[in-house]
Amino acid sequence: EACKLNSQEVVEEDKRLKLPPNWEAKKARLEWELQVQEKKKECAARGEDYERVKLLEISAEDAERWERKKKRKNPDLGFSDYAAAQLRQYQRLTRQIKPDLEQYEKLKEQYGEALYPTSDSLLHGSHVPSKEGVDRMVADLEKQIEKREKYSRRRPYNDDADIDYINERNAKFNQKAERFYGKYTAEIKQNLERGTAV
């Protein structure tokens, strides 16, 4: 009998080892989703709003903690790669576009089905943009150029600053040291310059 139980344990252990590594988490997640669906059905049967019922079960401390967590998340992830930066700029620019529906309706009447080109369409050179559209595009491009110039990371060289370095690499090191330890060493530096250092 012990041999039989042992072989059953071995079979069960083999089954567990063959499962994916995150099987337990997946299983727990699926069970939780099923519970949520059942609660939604119960609320719908009683004529209640599931979101309100769910919020009634959450304590104020948990709600505050989640709010703080949400606020902590920075929506601006900064620069990760050029493709992401280009996508963000594209989305920002397309959000700014205000379509001219009257002009669109006029073009639709003028061209009919030819307004929506297919692989057989031959519309090359037939569309001439309006003066207002060109002016709008130029203004937008100028605004982009101005913004790009404003956010340049180039640091202007200061001729009046003290020279406390022997080469460019040493200058960078000194700048970093000043940034991190400057507030602690300010008094020592002043004493050295005055000649009153002990």
Per-residue confidence in pLDDT tens, the chain, 198 aa:
889 889 999 998 888 888 777 888 888 999 999 999 999 999 989 888 888 888 888 888 888 888 888 777 666 667 778 888 899 889 888 888 888 888 889 888 887 777 777 777 776 666 778 898 899 899 999 998 998 888 766 666 777 787 888 998 999 999 999 999 999 998 888 888 888 766
Give the pTM: 0.37
Give the phi and the psi of residue 118 in degrees, each rounded to 5.
-120, -170
Rg (CA), the chain: 33
The reply to whether 82 falls in a domain is no
Give pLDDT, residue 1. Answer: 85
The pLDDT of residue 152 is: 64
* Last residue in a domain, options 18, 43, 70: 70
Write out the residue range of the structural domain in which residue 181 sits: 163-197
**CA–CA separation, 157 and 143 (whole Å):** 27
Residue for token digits 């340049």?
152
Which letter, b or e, does each residue of 62-81 get, where b requires 16 or more Cβ atoms within 10 Å of its Cβ?
eeeeeeeeeeeeeeeeeeee
What DSSP designation does 156 have?
A: P
Q: Is residue 90 part of a domain?
A: no
Residue 81 is predicted with a pLDDT of 85
121 assigned to some structural domain: no
Domain boundary among 33, 48, 70: 70
50 in any annotated domain: yes
